[in-house]
Amino acid sequence: DYYRAAAGEHGDWAEYRQAMRDRDKCCIAITIDDWGPIAKGGFPARLADD
């Protein structure tokens, strides 16, 4: 899905998957649910949500 979103449909998905294997490549999807803490000297604490 990430390839389709970035570059559109691929002409040969089997070839694409094999090329990824041959080059030891992978895609990891990460979902961010929360963030923190706020470090001193970085993002202003007054702008952060409680």
3-state secondary structure the chain: CHHHHHHCCCCCHHHHHHHHHHCCCCCCCCCCCCCCCCCCCCCCHHHCCC
Q: Is residue 6, in this structure, part of any structural domain at all?
A: yes
Contact 12, 6 (CB under 8 A): no
Q: Which residue has the higher pLDDT, 30 or 38?
A: 30
Of 1-5, 6-10, 41-45, the range with the lowest mean pLDDT is 41-45
Q: Is residue 39, in this structure, part of any structural domain at all?
A: no
Amino acid letter at 8?
A: G
Q: Is residue 19, in this structure, part of any structural domain at all?
A: yes
Q: Is residue 49, in this structure, part of any structural domain at all?
A: no
Provide the pLDDT confidence category of residue 39 given band limits of 50, 70 and 90: low
pTM of the model: 0.46
Q: Is residue 43, in this structure, part of any structural domain at all?
A: no
Alpha-carbon distance of 48 to 36, in angstroms, equals: 10
Tens digits of per-residue pLDDT, 10-31? 888 899 889 889 999 888 888 9
What's the residue count for the chain?
A: 50
> How many domains does the structure of the chain reveal?
1
pLDDT at 34 (0 to 100): 85
